[in-house]
Amino acid sequence: MNKRLKTAYEVGDVPHAEHPMPQAVREHWLNLNGEWDFCKIDAADNVSHEGKILVPFSPETLNSGIAEDFVLERGAKMRYFRTVTLDKSLLQGTTLLHFGAVDSECEVLVNGRLVGTHRGGFTPFTLDVSDCVKKGENTLEVIVRDEATRNGGARGKQSDTRGGIWYTPQSGIWQTVWLESAPKKYIKSFQITPDAFKKTVTVSLESEAPKCEIRVFDEGREILCEKFTGEVTLSHDFALWSPESPKLYDFVLTNAAGDTVRSYFGVRSLGRVIDQAGKVRLALNGKPYFFNGVLDQGYWSDGMLTYPSDKAAVDELQMLKDMGFNTVRKHIKLEPMRWYYHCDRLGLAVWQDFPNGGGEYKFSHVAAFPFLGIQHKDSDYRYFAREDATARAEFDGMVDEILDALYNVPSICMWVPFNEGWGQFDSAKYTDYVLQKDPTRIVDSVSGWHDQGVGKTALRSLHIYYTPLRVPRDPRPVVLSEFGGYSMQTEGHVFDPLHEFGYKKFKTEQELCDALRLLYLKKIKPLIAKGLCGAIYTQVSDVEEEINGFVTYDRAVQKVPTAVMRAINDEIAVAAADVQ
């Protein structure tokens, strides 16, 4: 029997109460997490699960407070409702309603008026509700449907037939909901583009009042102040950002209408170089850099896609940092913006996946054939279960939403549009598009297999679990974007004691640690000199019956001691430093 497990982290009456956008902070804002009225309405208009839900946790999770038998059947919908009292500070001219993520389609009503809709369960969206809100009590209603696991929409690792590497589906609001207010002519968006070679940062903004002042601070001391219209390039002897030295600079933007936004940036550049041995390398700030990281799916036993608290996120990232890793591959999901802020300030490079969609994945097509070396052209939509034009169009829009939302994050060093053929299609086109929209980062076009031979713009990206590790000849940088996956069952801390998924199984901590030393020091370390540019171990935590994490699903037991992993990674760092 599956067992839901509680973590030790308290969620509080208002979960995730911190400001949700550290890169765009205004003075006047209101967190709308906490208790909402909730019910499920099935296709025959029968109402169930009527009561309170704790936002931002999906109703399928322990932390939501909804009964454990919650399942959103085909054709059913959910209704969220609450009142909110506003004073004049939130009615300055523009009032914006933000949603971190709602899985997967929703309608939003304010004071009974429809103010907007959104489709796509992983991306943030904002609605201008200025014409609908008033001083005093207001009503907020969200109607949610979630057919993503059935209609080819973005679903990530969720499956109606969970098991192995596919997990229990969830639905509804799963990231922070919040309001903020600004003048009528407010700063709608801004883009930060650093250049480590020129020691410059270009800030461009969209605003009806484009005349602006920017003030830049270094640990509280003002170092720059410039007035500009629309765009400015700042020159200074900026210290460069890296995982080893995650230097950030604060800045304040104020436009001519008086809208003030606090933010920050890091200065770094990414690319490729040729080392002294003639091998192509990934580069950070113009020098060869070995990305040594961990696959992070961001699932939690009591919140599923939603971590229980800000502290929970920080503790896990700090564990990885203390273990000696410098990279996290955020696998098939997006996190709240605060998660990326913590990577920025702690110093962890992020490889960011795009969530996958499409129809039913055939094991032979997305796993068995590639394992035998059989690649396939991803213009064949039927082969990759991508016949649905509406679902393809949703992916198209999601790409823009992801790039717009995360462009300014210094720690994001790589975009990963597709993984292992799951809903893959037209990957060369999307690789070109991503690089056109963001030429500052690296793109792993198709992580794992079904390589379409994209040359100058991408990587050779390998997933190797069962066959010998190697670095094939290739004019592109070669990364091992998944490997390892060693599992160890921890009694009392598993989702399903009868089902265990992992790529190699161990019984004791000592056996697991010995195997990791062998894997890293005898197999990974020699490949660095041969041209390996990065390695991503599977994975940070157990997820349901997939128990190959460094920690258990409930984060109660750390299966691999920090000191053991740190000693291993110190040796990897020495080998990487020898590459010039």
Task: Report the alpha-carbon angle 257-259-263, nearest 5.
Answer: 145
Q: Are 111 and 139 in contact (CB under 8 A)?
A: yes
In the block, tokens 């914006």 appear at 96
pLDDT of residue 457: 61
What span, in angstroms and rounded, lies between the C-alpha atoms of 565 and 325? 9
pLDDT of residue 364: 87
* 300 Cα distance to chain centroid: 14
What span, in angstroms and rounded, lies between the C-alpha atoms of 471 and 457? 19
Low-confidence ranges of the chain (pLDDT < 50): none
Within 8 A by CB and 6+ apart from 506, the residues are 486, 487, 488, 512, 515
Helix (H, G, I), strand (E, B) or coil at 210: coil
pLDDT of residue 456: 62
Q: Are 508 and 471 in contact (CB under 8 A)?
A: no
Radius of gyration, CA atoms only, the chain: 24
Which among 421, 298, 304 is positioned nearest to 359, based on CA atoms? 421
**pTM for the model:** 0.97
What span, in angstroms and rounded, lies between the C-alpha atoms of 31 and 14? 8
What span, in angstroms and rounded, lies between the C-alpha atoms of 491 and 497? 8
Structure tokens at 6: 């509680």
Q: Are 101 and 122 in contact (CB under 8 A)?
A: yes
